[in-house]
Amino acid sequence: MEYYNYIKSLHLIFVVTWFAGLFYIPRLFIYHIEANDKQSPDKEILTAQLKVMTKRLWFIIAWPSAILCTLFAIWLLVLMPAWLEQPWMHVKLGFVVLLILYHLKCHQIFKQFQRDEVKYTSSFMRVWNEVATIILFAVIFLVVLKSAFNWIYGFIGIIVLGVLLMLGIKLYKRIRAKNPNA
């Protein structure tokens, strides 16, 4: 148990870097979508550069961070098996499963962009970008408060956060429509 805090620290470091990758990859997808609408040669130049950037982010930061975060989390659960009896941990692990599914969907989208398949709008991708934010809020509050009993308040809070994020996206869209360089 003397190295518990080191394992926990490494877990948290990789949580942060994993989320950094998950926050930035949809932003690169948005740039890729918008580059696809440009004229030659800008389209080809930007698309090629964005493919390199997304590939590096995805395979050098996001995937290794996800794997290391998960390994350190499993190690923590092995050291503290009583956590698995806690209702808040069950809810947290549910959100972790959602995060993994989100990561896998981002990987699918990544592969599509690498093949020059643009199937999404930039508006959709802006909304998609907020899924990781909502999961992060939920997990942080669960870990800090350690209470699944108040999940109804947490759920309402997540809904309110989602609504606020959507309003922010709509506001940004209006500002951008008036000023395309914003």
Binding residues for heme: 11, 92
Distance CA(42)–CA(30), nearest Å, equals 16
| Closest among 163, 168, 105 to 134, alpha carbons compared | 163
Q: What is the pLDDT of residue 150?
A: 66
Per-residue pLDDT of the chain (182 residues; tens, 9 = 90+): 789 999 999 999 999 999 999 999 999 999 999 999 999 999 999 999 999 999 999 999 999 999 999 999 999 999 999 999 998 899 899 999 999 999 999 999 999 999 999 999 998 999 899 899 989 988 988 888 887 556 667 677 778 887 888 888 888 878 878 887 76
Q: Which amino acid is at 137?
A: F
Q: Which amino acid is at 125?
A: M
| pTM confidence score | 0.84
Q: What is the pLDDT of residue 10?
A: 98
Alpha-helical runs (H) found in 37-150: 42-56, 63-79, 87-114, 122-145
Binding residues: 11, 92
Tokens of residue 45, six digits: 């130049």
